[in-house]
């Protein structure tokens, strides 16, 4: 470890702070056999930090591997103007889901005398409300599951069964999120 720190100093690299768990690797064993270490980290030069002063690194708890994911976000919304205009986007995951077609039909019938553009706007609003009720907020739910997994992994005696359940939930939500991103 001394040689590693010397190399960082020699190259004038700074190890960046990480939000979340201190550990990035686990042998995934239980009880006294459990070993957790911080093997992974981000480093940068001072010049890079000046270019990205609001960067944040988040340790994403393990769900598939024995290594955590480190997520680098160079555009922390706290540093920039937020409130971008959100355009309506039909989500592929809605197709075939109970209630989607009915929501479209009801909204369309209710506003069929309005111009098509207005009817589409109302339809989009109806689908947003329906989606929020039916799917919730995947990103919010996923963040909550990641936090729960991090707490379980950081506990002195992690429950293997509870971690498996949360990992299963995370992977299900990740599949839904991937479907949204693919379209």
Of 102 and 181, the structure prediction assigns the larger pLDDT to 102
Domain boundaries defined on the chain: 2-82+137-182, 92-135
> Per-residue confidence at 12, pLDDT binned at 50, 70, 90?
confident
> The dihedral of CA 106, 111, 113, 117: what is its sign?
negative
Q: Phi and psi (nearest 5°) for 137? A: -115, 105
Determine contact, residues 152/158, Cβ cutoff 8 Å.
Answer: yes
H-state helical runs in the chain: 2-10, 46-51, 100-110, 116-135, 138-154, 160-182
Q: What integer is the mean pLDDT of 143-167? A: 88
pLDDT digits 0-9 by tens, 94-151: 887 888 999 999 988 888 888 888 888 888 888 988 887 777 777 788 889 989 998 8
pTM of the model: 0.43
Q: What integer is the mean pLDDT of 150-159? A: 85
pLDDT digits 0-9 by tens, 15-73: 888 888 888 898 988 888 989 888 888 899 888 887 888 888 998 887 788 888 899 98
Tokens 């006294």 label which residue? Answer: 32
């Amino acid at each position: 470890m001394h040689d590693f720190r010397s190399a960082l100093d020699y190259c004038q690299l700074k190890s960046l702070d990480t939000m979340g768990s201190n550990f990035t690797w686990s042998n995934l064993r239980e009880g006294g056999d459990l070993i957790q270490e911080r093997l992974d980290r981000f480093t940068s030069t001072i010049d890079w930090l000046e270019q990205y002063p609001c960067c944040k690194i988040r340790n994403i708890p393990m769900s598939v591997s024995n290594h955590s994911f480190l997520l680098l976000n160079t555009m922390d919304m706290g540093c920039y103007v937020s409130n971008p205009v959100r355009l309506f986007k039909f989500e592929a995951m809605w197709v075939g889901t109970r209630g989607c077609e009915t929501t479209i039909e009801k909204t369309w019938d209710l506003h069929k005398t309005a111009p098509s553009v207005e009817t589409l706007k109302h339809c989009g609003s109806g689908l947003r409300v329906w989606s929020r009720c039916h799917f919730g907020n995947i990103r919010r739910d996923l963040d909550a599951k990641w936090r729960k997994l991090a707490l379980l992994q950081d506990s002195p005696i992690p429950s293997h069964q509870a971690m498996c359940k949360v990992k299963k939930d995370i992977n299900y939500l990740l599949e839904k999120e991937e479907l949204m991103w693919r379209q």
